[in-house]
Structure 1
């Protein structure tokens, strides 16, 4: 089973090396690694080019945002399964992809997700949110629950059937894609109860300056799926409360 991993990036000179090395250090070797850069101006591509011989494909060209970049990567991907490694993130350990493949082969999953840790951007050993995915139920999805996006690994044939990211969203395209895939209950979804990724706080969806934009996009996205937008948004926020509590307990 070939796994395609896509990293989109723009001006991530401080974190891109960690993302790349976490992919290249995986003990599962049938990985197609694709990096799509938006013409970084801060030295990001200098670091990427250090690993050019180990990366399957590198593109650096202008785009209209992260989701357009990810869609470019998906269209190029040849793997049986596609996952993302954001430029600020890194795998939990060197065996993650092996465990994902083993679980997908064992269960015949179309869609797999797991757990993730949000960590302090300056101290990645400090856990800020402990996201335990929990079981998949369509009723939970209808009430604002979604798996953590960077822990999701999806069969390429399912992605091309269900559709790529909606680029009219600048922040909520990942939630929109997950709702489109998971609301129907007609694909095989499997929960891997293990940590997959560590995510630095401060990305697009965690930047305070983007909170209002995120609220507006979420409301539009929920409405497009026939859900009560304000209630579902509040329910989504309620699902997050235990994550902060678990993070606090993890530090004690």
Structure 2
């Protein structure tokens, strides 16, 4: 089974090599690696170029943000399964992709899989800050602020062809909207892998400032309305409150 992995990067000179190596060290033999660089100017390009003979497809051009870059990568992907690994993230171990493939292979009706994610210190990535434990999926969970960590989610490519890519009218919560659309609206059959798949350095676009967080909250509600659903009345409280349990 061929797996396409997409990394979108812009000015991540300090972390990109760790991300690249964590993909290239995976034990699964059939990986298509796609790197989309939004014209970095901090030395990222020179680091990526060192791995060019092991990266299947590279794009270096201006984009409209991370979701636009990810959409470019998804459109280029030719794998049976597509996943994302951001430029600040890395796989938890060398068998992550192999384990994901095993889940798809065991049940051919499975259209997506997801797992757990660990947040690590940006300067000391071996130090865990908190853990996002997903748990088994139930449709009702979305109404209580649940979502899986999107860097751990892998869909069959046909899901994107059938249900669409990231929406370009979202700036902070396009990942939430896409997962809501896939899992709740279209009921894509999912399987949960009860293990840590990805480590993410603390930070992120939606958490970068209070104003960004407020905008992300508004987009969380918008994710429901654009899909013809009424957002839960307490969504703005329930979704952030779920993070509290990640510290214990």
User: TM over 0.5: same fold?
Assistant: yes
CA contact (8 A) 1:138 1:185 kept: no
Q: Tell me the residue number matched to 1:24.
A: 24
Matches within 5 A, 1:44-193: 44-108=44-108, 109-184=110-185, 186-193=187-194
Q: Is residue 232 of structure 1 aligned with residue 241 of structure 2?
A: no
Greater CA drift, 48-57 or 229-238: 229-238
* 1:13 counterpart = 2:9: no
Change beyond 3 A, Cα 1:64–1:185: closer
- Matches of 1:170 and 1:29 in 2, distance apart? 35
Write the distance in 2 (CA, Å) between the matches of 1:172 and 1:47.
29
Tell me how many residue pairs correspond in the alignment: 245
How far off its partner does 1:91 sit?
Answer: 0.2
Tell me the equivalent position of 2:225.
Answer: 223
Q: TM-score, normalised by structure 2?
A: 0.95
The 1-side partners of 2:233 and 2:201 are apart by: 28
1:144-167 deviation line (CA, Å, top 9, x unaligned)? 211000000000001110100001
Q: CA deviation at 1:206?
A: 2.5
The match for 1:212 among 203, 214, 236 is 214
Tell me by how many angstroms 1:125 deviates: 1.6
Q: What is the CA–CA distance in structure 2 between the aligned matches of 1:134 and 1:77, rounded to whole Å?
A: 29
What is the alpha-carbon distance in structure 1 between the residues aligned to residue 214 and residue 195 of structure 2? Answer: 32
In 1, the alpha carbon distance for the partners of 2:220 and 2:190 equals 23
For the Cα contact (< 8 Å) 1:107–1:190, is it kept in 2? no
> What RMSD over aligned residues (CA atoms) do the two structures have, in Å?
1.3
SS in 1 for 2:205: coil
Q: CA deviation at 1:57?
A: 0.4
Displacement of 1:95 in angstroms is 0.8
Separation in 2, partners of 1:34, 1:199: 19
Query: CA 1:146/1:12 → structure 2, altered by over 3 Å: closer, same or farther?
Result: same
TM-score (norm. length: structure 1): 0.93
Query: 1:198 aligns to what SS in structure 2?
Result: strand
Does structure 1 conserve the Cα–Cα contact (< 8 Å) formed by 2:130 and 2:246?
A: yes
Tell me the alpha carbon deviations over residues 69-92 of structure 1, each in whole angstroms, 9 at most, x when there is no partner: 000000000000000000000000
- Equivalents in 2 of 1:126, 1:187: separation in Å? 35
Q: Distance in 2 between matches of 1:134 and 1:214?
A: 23
